[in-house]
């Protein structure tokens, strides 16, 4: 009986430790931030050039600073580029079971200034996120994640 209590306590403690580890590490694993070598505008220009060079498209750029100003909030510069490579996107969008991942599309690259005066680029870790799904979604997100990372590496501090 004593051994059973130790096993149960061990399982509970193990589960709590695992929950703590996952909860503290998950945000760092799923979101990636890098400092840019360039000014805000030059970072956006260079990213757009890299997007074009890779054969990707930019359906839209959201100016979150301007959006927030409409609601009387003053925030530092933030623009979010929606980038897409149609031949990768169609792998997910053309299949009923994979279309659930459309909420993660298109890939987003955020460029922003922090109060330290530096410019940063952030993005979802698409490769890790795709790994959670497996199958076609994983394959598509691996390609998208690796290619978008190549695009981003053109502007970040190494």
Please spell the DSSP secondary structure of the chain, one letter per residue.
Answer: -HHHHHHHHHHHHHHHHHHHHHHHHHHHHHEEEEEBSS-HHHHHHHHHHHHHHTT-EEEEEEEHHHHHHHTT-----EEEEEEE-HHHHHHHHTSTTTGGGGGG-SEEEEEEE-TTS-EEEEEE-HHHHHHHH-HHHHHHHHHHHHHHHHHHHTTB--
pLDDT of 19 reads 63
CATH of domain 31-153: 3.30.310.70
pLDDT digits (tens, 9 = 90+) for 57-74: 999 999 999 999 999 999
pTM of the predicted model over 0.75:
yes
* Domain ranges (residues) in the chain: 31-153
């Amino acid at each position: 009986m004593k051994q059973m209590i130790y096993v149960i306590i061990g399982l509970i403690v193990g589960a709590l430790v695992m929950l703590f580890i996952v909860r503290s590490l998950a945000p760092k694993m799923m979101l990636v931030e890098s400092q840019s070598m360039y000014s805000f505008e030059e970072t956006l220009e260079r990213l757009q050039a890299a997007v074009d060079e890779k054969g990707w498209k930019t359906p839209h750029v959201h100016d979150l600073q301007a959006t927030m100003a409409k609601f009387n909030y003053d925030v530092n510069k933030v623009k979010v580029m929606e980038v897409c490579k149609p031949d990768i996107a169609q792998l997910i969008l053309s299949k009923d079971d994979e279309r659930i991942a459309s909420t993660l599309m298109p890939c987003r690259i955020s460029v922003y200034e922090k109060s330290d005066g530096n410019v940063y680029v952030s993005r979802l870790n698409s490769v890790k996120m795709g790994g959670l799904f497996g199958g076609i979604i994983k394959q598509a997100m691996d390609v998208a994640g690796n290619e978008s990372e190549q695009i981003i590496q053109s502007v970040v501090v190494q």
